[in-house]
Structure 1
Amino acid sequence: MNVLVWLAAILFILMVLIGGKKGVRSFLSLFLNIGVLFVAIFFMTNPENSPIIITFIACTLISWISLFYINEKNSKTITAFISTMITIVILLLFIVIVTEKSKIQGFGEESTEEISMFSLYIGVNFAQIGASVIIMSTIGAILDVAISIASSMHEIYHHNPIISRKKLFTSGLNIGKDILGTDTNTLFFAFFGGYLGLLIWFKDLSYSIGDIVNSKVFSTEIITIFCAGIGIALIIPITASVNAYYLVKTREK
């Protein structure tokens, strides 16, 4: 407990020193987002509620907190929020189909011993829960890319107000290309960092490459990475087009 308190204190001090008031809001937003997730989980346990709808509402609240609460309401956060919502809707529909077709919902064989004492008849749709987990895993990366591109495009427009919509859109795409590779690699290495113990266990159990690839635990995480990568790839042209349209339209008015 003391370690958690000290780490939280160090994080808070650094965020205040570097970010000032925005750093304080960023620190508080962590707890607000955690609260949103806990409330979402609470409602998901009710069989009458749709996990997909709850996930969409939770992602909307998380996006609102991460954009408007931290960075306040302005043209950059508005366009980033719109782009994020469009991407989440597209990604939700895609992920629901992928989850149902790939059958990755539920627990893997590696978890059989730990959950054998519990009842699995809990009355929730595991396919939709699996889709919810994937979309929740991607929301952070999507928000990061959206606000990065929006901020960069607004800066470009500020220094060149007469730029055409096509050139502004192209600039947004070029910015996104640089972000795409680094963010996708971040998701990939985050998986290996978080599941390094599992991979070592696979080796100790003499799993073949085929066994590892076909295990539900491994497949679920790889599909999550791919879906997150698809989300990052989608948000780039969507954010670029929304910002180009908004900025040029504002100039015309």
Structure 2
Amino acid sequence: MNVIKLLAVILFILMSSIGGKKGVTSFLALFLNFGVIFVAILFMQNVKSLITLTLVACTLISCINLFYINKFNHKTLATFISLIITLAILLSFIFIIEHHAMIQGFGEEEEEEISGFSLYIGIAFAKVTICTIIMGTIGAIIDISLSIASSMNELVVHTPLISKKNLFRSGMKIGTDILGTTTNTLYFAFIGGYLTLILWFKKLSYSFGDIINSKIFSSEVISILSGGIGVAIIIPITAWMSATILFKGRER
């Protein structure tokens, strides 16, 4: 048994023992999400709009993470609607940033590795960059949105007489409390994934200006900042949407 299989077995045992049935469902959802992304990559050369394909894939991933794992209820519905609104806002922002930052394609540090390959693959690298940022953002905004909606749902269950205004304020307070940790998660994910790149920059005596203007470094930093902006945007949207849906559900 190789390392990957061993780690997968350990993960399954832990998720099933701690999370029970939902833990098993969450474990299976990992493979479903991988399947969606894999199929999306296969179709990228056969569709005209990569961004539309990516949005469809993100929608399917959202449905798996929300409705498959946590069932269809008020909190998952509020999260899904908030996610769609946030993606619509964030997409227009990402278009502008990508156009002015010019981060598409490969950096000069990668030229030697790809020198023997043709870059005429029939796909616009600018669109691939936008798709990459969207894919990298979706996980973080689903996580924080569901955390807020779930907490607000528990608040309604245990405090049924709470007003809609106070419920919204509680949602905002919950969101601001976890805002810093979520953005730091994006940052540490970058550090963990690109630590060797940073050490390589240091070994080659890159100046601070060279690092900042490096296409590889800039594209990852922009992805982190875009994810952070998405996380910040979705907090008030989720708080308002959850307060509206949960309040109506309580009245019924």
Match of 2:11 in 1: 11
Kept in 2, the 8 Å contact 1:76–1:151? The answer is: yes
Say which SS state the counterpart of residue 106 (structure 2) adopts. coil
Say which SS state the counterpart of residue 116 (structure 2) adopts. coil
The alpha-carbon deviation at position 152 of structure 1 amounts to 0.5
Match of 1:116 in 2: 115
The alpha-carbon deviation at position 252 of structure 1 amounts to 3.5
Kindly provide the CA deviation profile for residues 88-124 of structure 1, in whole angstroms up to 9, marking residues without a partner as x. Answer: 1211221122112211010001100011000011111
Match of 2:216 in 1: 217
Q: One-letter code of the match for 2:50?
A: P
Distance in 1, matches of 2:24 and 2:48, equals 35
1:38 to 2:59 alignment:
no
Distance in 1, matches of 2:2 and 2:249, equals 52
Kept in 2, the 8 Å contact 1:96–1:128? The answer is: no
Match of 1:183 in 2: 182
Match of 2:133 in 1: 134
Kept in 1, the 8 Å contact 2:74–2:249? The answer is: no
The alpha-carbon deviation at position 223 of structure 1 amounts to 0.3
Match of 1:96 in 2: 95
Say which SS state the counterpart of residue 73 (structure 1) adopts. coil
Distance in 2, matches of 1:42 and 1:63, equals 20
The alpha-carbon deviation at position 201 of structure 1 amounts to 0.4
Q: One-letter code of the match for 1:69?
A: Y
> What does 1:162-241 correspond to in 2, within 5 Å?
162-241=161-240
Superposed CA RMSD in Å reads 1.1
Q: One-letter code of the match for 2:165?
A: K
Q: One-letter code of the match for 1:206?
A: S
Where structure 1 has 5 or more consecutive residues not aligned to the other structure, the ranges are: none
Distance in 2, matches of 1:40 and 1:15, equals 27
1:57 to 2:56 alignment:
yes
The alpha-carbon deviation at position 153 of structure 1 amounts to 0.5
Say which SS state the counterpart of residue 179 (structure 2) adopts. helix
1:246 to 2:249 alignment:
no
When normalised by structure 1's length, the TM-score is 0.97
The alpha-carbon deviation at position 159 of structure 1 amounts to 1.8
Match of 2:146 in 1: 147
Where structure 2 has 5 or more consecutive residues not aligned to the other structure, the ranges are: none
The alpha-carbon deviation at position 43 of structure 1 amounts to 1.4
Kindly provide the CA deviation profile for residues 190-242 of structure 1, in whole angstroms up to 9, marking residues without a partner as x. Answer: 10111000000001111000000000000000000000000100110010000
When normalised by structure 2's length, the TM-score is 0.97
Distance in 2, matches of 1:150 and 1:21, equals 21
Distance in 1, matches of 2:27 and 2:251, equals 38
Distance in 1, matches of 2:251 and 2:13, equals 44
The alpha-carbon deviation at position 248 of structure 1 amounts to 1.9
The alpha-carbon deviation at position 157 of structure 1 amounts to 1.2
Kindly provide the CA deviation profile for residues 40-78 of structure 1, in whole angstroms up to 9, marking residues without a partner as x. Answer: 1111123x4211101110000000000111111111111
Q: One-letter code of the match for 1:31?
A: F
Say which SS state the counterpart of residue 160 (structure 2) adopts. coil
Q: One-letter code of the match for 1:182?
A: T
